[in-house]
Amino acid sequence: MAADSKTTRALLSELIDYAGLFPPAGLDMAAAVREYASYLAGEYSWMLGRFVVQAGRIAEFEKAASRYFGGRKWKIALLGRPEKPVEVDAVELRAERIRDIRPIAGADTYFEVTPALSLEATIEAIAKAGVRAKIRTGGLTAEAFPEAGRVARFLALCHKNGVAFKATAGLHHPVRGEHPFTYDPRSARGMMFGFVNLFLAAILIFNGANEGDAAQLLEERSADAFRFDNDVVCWRKYRITPEQIRQAREHFAISFGSCSFEEPVRELEAMGLL
């Protein structure tokens, strides 16, 4: 695999929204802010996306982060509806009712699809409102992980309706495999999605692949099944160029939230992609 190639840069650029405040990391505000500031100053800052913070903690965040800004404005994703106007890049909400799906002024607005609502109806409403979709791809228990077919269906519906998306939860590892659900040594283990799998599946869908092939890619467990060269990524019969990746990342497959930045980086290094 080609380290730091055109294809890996296109795939990984601003891919990881840092959610260190959330489980299983669950850092306090000071620690999460400090970690994000260090990543921004680090070798792989180009992979870093937004800092994710709860709407009710925005004042606490601003106080903790003010010493680190240094003239550079951070990209912020606000989880929950703001109580008053705030300047952030994105707002992330749950789609509890179809009629509540509408944009928040001044920010990219994401609505998380929920099992309680029809996936098709939710994505159609998101498209009609001109907002973005969000899918939860895991959690702290096996039951929190959706089937690969449902994720592939989500990707296909988003593409069909012209909806950009982000993902969150259970995506610490590049390639699908069995891992502990938390950092507790006694944690239960289970099958977890890989973020390389997910975003390559989305890029295939964006470039005309069928839903069934996307589901198979989501279930791919061998890192050796992927070949990253400077000018192409290969998986089975598919060949994906850096430009195809860039277009999909810009217009469709936006980012994923992770409570760890270091864990994905370490595993990408071990794969030879960084």
Assigned domain for 1 exists? no
Nearest of 88, 87, 91, 115 to residue 101 by alpha carbon: 91
Assigned domain for 200 exists? yes
Number of structural domains (the chain) is 1
What per-residue confidence (pLDDT) applies to 86? 86
> 10-residue block means of pLDDT along the chain (274 residues)?
83 98 96 96 96 96 86 87 90 95 95 96 98 96 95 98 97 96 91 98 97 98 95 96 98 97 97 94
Assigned domain for 149 exists? yes
Assigned domain for 37 exists? yes
What per-residue confidence (pLDDT) applies to 200? 98
Q: What is the Cα–Cα distance from 31 to 64, expressed in whole angstroms? A: 9
Q: What is the CATH number of the domain that holds 115?
A: 3.20.20
DSSP 162-216: T--EEEESS--SSS-EEEESSSSTT--EEEE--HHHHHHHHHHHHTT--HHHHHH
**Counting Cβ atoms within 10 Å, is residue 25 exposed (0-12), middle (13-18) or buried (19+)?**
buried
Pairing of strands 90-94, 177-180: unpaired
Assigned domain for 26 exists? yes
Q: What is the Cα–Cα distance from 126 to 41, expressed in whole angstroms? A: 36
Residue with token string 């497959």: 253
| Statement: the pTM of the whole predicted model exceeds 0.85 | yes
What per-residue confidence (pLDDT) applies to 72? 67
Structure tokens at 248: 């999909």
Exposure string over 30-47, b if 16+ CB within 10 A, otherwise e: eebbbbbbebbeeebeeb
Helix H or strand E encompassing 60 = helix 58-69
Q: What is the Cα–Cα distance from 2 to 245, expressed in whole angstroms? A: 16
Assigned domain for 234 exists? yes
What per-residue confidence (pLDDT) applies to 71? 57
Assigned domain for 49 exists? yes
Pairing of strands 16-18, 253-258: parallel
Distance set, CA 15 to CA 24, 29, 118, 136, 195 (Å): 20, 22, 28, 16, 10
Assigned domain for 17 exists? yes
**Counting Cβ atoms within 10 Å, is residue 208 exposed (0-12), middle (13-18) or buried (19+)?**
exposed
Q: Which domain holds residue 106?
A: 6-271
